[in-house]
A and B are shown apart, each in its own frame.
Chain A
Amino acid sequence: MTVVREYSRGVGERGEKPLVLRVHGLKKHFPIRGGVFSRITGYVHAVDGVSFDLPVGETLGFVGESGCGKSTVGKTVLRLLLPTAGSVEIGGRDVTTLSEHALRPLRRKMQMVFQDPYSSLNPRMTVGSIVAEPLVTHGIAGGRELTDRVATLFAKVGLRPEQMTGYPHQFSGGQRQRVAIARALAVEPDLIVCDEPVSALDISIQAQIINLMMDLQDDLGLSYLFISHDLAVVELIADRIAVMYLGSIAEIGAKEDVMRNPRHPYTKALLSAVPLPDPKRKNRAQIVLNGDVPSPSNPPSGCRFHSRCHLAQERCRVEAPELKSGAGGHAVACHFRDIN
């Protein structure tokens, strides 16, 4: 674990660290049913060819608008959804082809923290038994040891062990999210997929939860796949950031590269939309996107962003740009990545 800690905040030296997660060409298409006998009339291209690596102890932030497929990436990685195509390797094993039964031992390695702590905890179970369930399911602990383990987990996430007997409705949003984190930690996973874990919380509580997650990462060498639409939160916790647009990655790279030196026009537009608490910087160049996100059931031809891009030219309508890697693993899917 010491090795991991040394690297955990490092950015740049890519390729030396072992990967906890490797996703290649991931696609998830949802059928649209309609008409007589629920025929399949089309597909929603929720995720359309996403590839990325996640080294041990790092955090990869996924940002994008609502409906861009970032949550679907998270759920497909955990095999809560079956991918349409592509591979997901967890600790070197492809989980896309495994049966549910063969997958069970691997589920110990990956866990999830959900957005809404009000719906992610079973209202009829005590929070203690919620946290204990993974331990029982995987036969890790029982009896006296189980209670001790749950108490330790409660302490680890900043809850009092006496609170174990309470029901979820007796807890605040932030406390519930701590319970959800404790449940995710119970099986000592390598990877935690966090699907907007703080966006349902108050700002002050958000900071607490983010700090808790960063402390836990340092202590336990966890890797996070951190999904959010809040750039400020992602900037705080992520080592690398992937910007998604309409089911594919527009830009991916080290946090500093993406935030300070964005190359994709969509990333630039997103960053220029972040409000700055500085009244003097009124005349900042703003890129305002026109129109709405096109329907993922009928994505635009060529570059998916061309219909809203201020740089779009004829080529963008026809040819889809590759996600081309540059220095330091900073990859941009734009024909004009070097011009702007």
Chain B
Amino acid sequence: MAGALIVGLLLLVALLAPVLSPYPPDAINYRHLLSPPSTEHLLGTDDLGRDILSRLLYGAQLSLSAGISAVILSVLVGVPVGLVAGYAGGMTDELVMRVFDSIIALPPLVLALTISAVLGPGLVNATIAIAIVAVPTYARLIRGQVLSIKNNDYILAARSVGVSSRAVLFRHILPNVISPIIVQAALGVGFAIILESSLSFIGLGAQPPTSTWGSMVQTSFQYLELAPWFVIAPSVAIFVAVLGANLLGEGLRNFLDPNQKKAAQKT
């Protein structure tokens, strides 16, 4: 489980940022503008002389929490909607799915850009925009799962006993369809981090002086020739986080696959 290790480490680092950071993230030092990595500043300093390592560690808090909360938001909306649409079928299903189809028809970055532009710049609004963009993915995924199991005899058996629709949905259907959602959510965190970075890069995400990895890349871009090390640190951080999320997602997929589980229990 390399993914779990990477994600766990990143989360730990983000939580321990105040302890691990050698400097306060917004301590300006005009004597060390854009200085290259040294023993004093391990990853160098930025255009205002702030320590890049410290900003990276504090940025991890915001980047990761934005990514994770966007995913949680979209799961909280997408899963119940997809569950109900798939189970109810008919007009409800048609209506919900056509709305989601139209959301999916737009490129995710363009849509996220538009929504956060409408809501106004800021990390919270960017997170909401990312969540909205991702909702249809979860709703469609879970709807497909519901459709594939809702005609199983155990659903019929529950109905023939007189179990209420809500109990059928949450006791019989949800536990049997949730594992692909967990996988998708792990993968989705990586996607959300990229989207948030993109939005911050454009200037619609975190506003100065707070910085996420995305906004650090944006600032560093202006000094690409002067201080190339400045752009590398946040880019690598984004890369590692996304890689970790994807590996975690794939690891979960293998872990939750009932066939593999059965094989594991036999041995």
With a CB–CB cut-off of 8 A, which chain B residues contact A111?
160-161
Binds B, one of A17-25, A100-108, A213-221: A100-108
Partner of B157, one of A123, A138, A183: A183
With a CB–CB cut-off of 8 A, which chain A residues contact B160?
78, 80, 107, 110-112
CB distance from B233 to the nearest CB of A (A): 45
Partner of A119, one of B153, B161, B167, B172: B153
Interface string of B152-163 (1 = CB under 8 A from A): 111011111111
The A120-150 residues at the B interface (CB cut-off 8 A) are 120-125, 133-134, 137-138
CB distance from B263 to the nearest CB of A (A): 12
Chain A residue nearest to B90 (CB atoms) is A38
Interface string of A80-101 (1 = CB under 8 A from B): 1000000000000000000000
Interface of B toward A, CB cutoff 8 Å: 152-154, 156-164, 167, 171-172, 175-176, 258, 262
CB distance from A227 to the nearest CB of B (A): 14
CB distance from B156 to the nearest CB of A (A): 6
Partner of A103, one of B153, B156, B162, B172: B162
Taking the complex as formed, is A53 at the interface, i.e. its CB lies under 8 A from any CB of chain B? no
Asked if A112 and B162 make an inter-chain contact with CB atoms under 8 angstroms apart, the answer reads no
19 pairs of residues in contact across A and B, judged by CB atoms under 8 Å: A75-B156, A104-B162, A108-B162, A114-B153, A114-B157, A115-B153, A116-B153, A119-B152, A120-B152, A120-B153, A120-B157, A121-B154, A122-B176, A123-B258, A125-B172, A133-B161, A133-B163, A134-B161, A180-B157
Asked if A119 and B154 make an inter-chain contact with CB atoms under 8 angstroms apart, the answer reads yes
Asked if A123 and B176 make an inter-chain contact with CB atoms under 8 angstroms apart, the answer reads yes
CB distance from A134 to the nearest CB of B (A): 4
CA separation between A112 and B175, bound complex, in Å? 23
CB distance from B94 to the nearest CB of A (A): 9
CA separation between A116 and B151, bound complex, in Å? 13
Asked if A112 and B157 make an inter-chain contact with CB atoms under 8 angstroms apart, the answer reads yes
CB distance from A253 to the nearest CB of B (A): 29
With a CB–CB cut-off of 8 A, which chain A residues contact B262?
169
CB distance from A305 to the nearest CB of B (A): 31
CA separation between A133 and B164, bound complex, in Å? 12
CA separation between A124 and B172, bound complex, in Å? 8
Most buried by A among B152, B162, B176, B258: B162
CB distance from B202 to the nearest CB of A (A): 42
